[in-house]
Amino acid sequence: MRFMPVSYEIFLYLNFKLAHRLIVKYLPTDSGHLAVLGTFVIAFYFYEALLF
């Protein structure tokens, strides 16, 4: 697969912003927010490692 570095960074940023928006919407508390955000980041990088 061909990935331009800039477009790939934008793709990661949009995914992060979307997840952040969903987490803020469904988990207003800070502790739950941080926990789920951390879980998402770990799961996302694990998924990326499986792809490449």
What's the Cα-to-Cα distance from 8 to each of 4, 27, 46, 48, rounded to whole Å? 6, 28, 17, 12
CA–CA distance, 8 with 6 (Å, rounded to integer) = 5
pLDDT at position 19 over 70: yes
Beta-carbon contacts of 37 under 8 Å, excluding residues fewer than 6 positions away, are 19, 20, 23
> Mean pLDDT of all residues in the chain?
71
Q: Which two tokens stand for residue 16?
A: 């992060």
Range of the domain at 24: 5-51
Over the stretch 22-38, which tens digit does the pLDDT of each residue have? 777 766 666 666 777 77
> In total, how many domains does the chain have?
1
Q: What is the pTM of this model?
A: 0.37
Residue 21 scores a pLDDT above 60: yes
Q: Which residue has the higher pLDDT, 29 or 17?
A: 17
Assigned token pair, 9: 């960074």
